[in-house]
Structure 1
């Protein structure tokens, strides 16, 4: 890499609460974390994209789909061009300390980071909201994952020491101070990722659409608990129940944060988990085991599964020395499942930014 090299840090994200609501016109409360995809970019004769993790790269003249990790970058080239932005060939090196498959949204970090890096290299400014929307188009239309906008918005727009409250229907957002004092947020990576993940994710989306049809509604924002009660199909009823109660929990969490009532925030995290387990059915035996073990300690204010589900990570809100609690929980988890979970101390971060 030469003197023209630009270096970008694009953060992962954790979601405090509001799970599986972002594609249902719901509310979410995520924040960016100090774990990054590092992108180095400089002009070159051909497009070259190299991954430090995978120790492999790809070269091309014309951006076309490859059905590989590189599509998150290639899709951004295509989408930026569609939006009228000029993109000239570059060499890009991608490195990361974001654990893959832990539900920390490495894909959105790569999309937003690549788009931001290209704009910096080409010397034009893209409004952050527009950058997030282009990255979302890349994921949905180019990569082919029908996700909501939460991840891209969080990576592009986050502010340190704040969560980002997003109304995914109107796409309005506001910054919510996270005053945690002696309380900290952690992520526990369960070390399991069940293959069900992606197929079940699309299935849940479809079930939510069917439950709306059953209630004669076009959006969950029009749905009350009384409407949910009228659904005949027990599975569809449970899916709708999760979305409606989870939206309410996000709003209650917002109020609790404004009142600095972290005990209440913790309570809502547990409630969210049990709804994801029983109503949305996206948890798994390993995650449930961890949650039940964590509940035995009064220092742990709350915890829940995060991300698409079927493994991945748990977010934990805890006081005092959580590391020693984690060691005990991890020991019993290893005995039962033969897997070592890992602990990530979570610090909030700014959104995508240039460091060089």
Structure 2
């Protein structure tokens, strides 16, 4: 028996999930697949890299296996000690591209263990196990979006998540003649994780200055109490939450062109206010302006991918020249693919 969990793209709502905000992701048709069986020790094997990690007891490895180890430890907090497994992973989901391969690893692991041991965890609980693993064991203070999207998504729908209440709603995803594309920049700057946690701390400091418990209580009037980076971070969060709600409204009214404008707005807010973009990503987005409906950086930032909303012919007209110019400037061969929506985590037979 095999299990798979999808990566995700987030249409809009970046760096809002850990700030009690709104996000609008959907699962994509790129997956991490897992074959699992009981074993006398813990084995973690990646078919893509042909790397295997073997442990007699669970401990930090400072490798990709930590995402799985963290999940096992979270499950053991709930049900007690469980026997070791042999995990064999394969994937067509690009690692480090901002498509949440880590959450897919966590969710597929929790889902498979839940199924094999008949633990009867809900999909929401499976998502939260993955989220706790990443926060408590891996040490990245992420929000709930990635794990919820990988666990709870449905094909042909986006998943509107309120990170404050953890309520979620499926929104029909009818793009008419438009498609979403991912362009992988081929870069992932090392400062990504540390800067991500710095952004979280800056947001918490901004709340203290304002005297509010949550960003859900923050309004535009509060911006006058802030300056410098605290003003910029808070302004991004307020306006990005508004863009999520406007995007949902545009989807419900078949106004796909408006969504493209919100994507460009989001990118420049992430670049100038939240300061998580980078030169290579900005180069791509700049070249796409006035040629596609919309584009923005996706994921944690400092590299990764650009999400593009475009008609197929318009995208084909621009992508080859963009690949040429990007390679000429950065000596990197751009990779891109169209993304289709997908169901969340599931079991299947080979």
Q: State if a TM-score over 0.5 links the two structures.
A: yes
Q: Is 1:225 matched with 2:220?
A: yes
On the 8 A contact 1:41/1:90 being kept in 2, the answer is yes
CA-CA distance at 1:296 after TM superposition: 3.2
The 5-angstrom pairing of residues 84-99 of structure 1 reads 84=79, 87-99=82-94
- Looking at structure 2, the residues matched to 143 and 353 of structure 1 have their Cα atoms a distance apart, in angstroms, of 24
What CA deviation, in whole Å up to 9, does each residue of 1:84-139 have, x standing for no partner?
A: 16632221101111111100111110011011111222233320000111111111
- Equivalent residue of 2:137, what SS? helix
Counterparts of 2:129 and 2:188 in 1: how far apart (Å)? 29
Whether 1:122 and 2:114 are equivalent positions in the alignment is no
CA drift of 1:77 comes to 1.3
RMSD over aligned CA atoms reads: 1.2
Deviation of the 1:264 alpha carbon: 0.6
Corresponding position of 1:312: 304
Measured at CA, do residues 58 and 257 of structure 1 come closer, stay the same or move farther in structure 2, by a change above 3 Å? Answer: same
1:17 is aligned to 2:9: no
Match of 1:67 among 47, 62, 67: 62
Alignment partner, residue 337 of structure 1: 330
State the alpha-carbon separation in 2 of the partners of residues 200 and 72 from structure 1.
20
1:194-244 C-alpha deviation (Å, 9 max, x unpaired): 22211111111111111111111111111111111221x311101110000
Q: Tell me the equivalent position of 1:241.
A: 235
* Other-structure match for 2:284: 290
Contact 1:19 / 1:306 at 8 angstroms: preserved in 2?
Answer: yes
Cα distance per residue 1:310-336 (max 9 Å; x no partner): 111010100132233211112122222
The CA deviation string for residues 19-60 of structure 1, in whole angstroms up to 9 with x for no partner, is 000110000000111100010011222222211123121223
2:191 aligned with 1:196, yes or no? yes
Partner residue in 2 for 1:171:
166
Q: Out of 339, 342, 354, which is 2:347 matched to?
A: 354
Q: Aligned partners of 2:119, 2:195: CA distance in 1, in Å?
A: 40
For 1:350 and 1:311, locate their aligned partners in 2 and report how far apart those are by CA, in whole Å. 27
Question: What SS does the aligned partner of 2:79 have?
Answer: coil
Could you list the runs of 5+ residues in structure 2 that have no partner in the other structure? none
Which range is displaced more, 300-309 or 331-340? Answer: 331-340
Q: Could you say which residue in structure 1 is the equivalent of 2:45?
A: 50
For 1:43 and 1:245, the matched residues in 2 are separated by 48
- Write out aligned runs for 1:136-155 (5 A): 136-155=131-150
- Equivalent residue, structure 2, for 1:253: 247
Structure 1 residue 178, shift from structure 2 partner:
0.5
C-alpha distance in 2 between matches for 1:119 and 1:320: 41
- Residues 285 and 189 of structure 1: is their aligned pair in 2 closer, same or farther, counting only changes over 3 Å? same
Residue pair 1:41, 1:121 contacting (<8 A) in 2 also: no
Equivalent residues, number = 348
Normalising by structure 1, we get a TM-score of: 0.95
| Aligned counterparts of 1:111 and 1:139: Cα–Cα separation in 2 | 8
CA distance in 1, matches of 2:262, 2:71: 37
Gaps of 5+ in 1: 1-5
Inter-partner Cα distance in structure 2 for 1:323 and 1:311: 23
> Is this contact kept in 2: 1:8–1:38, CA < 8 A?
yes
C-alpha contact (below 8 Å) 1:43/1:121 kept by paired residues: no
Give 4+ residue runs of structure 1 displaced > 6 Å after superposition. Answer: none
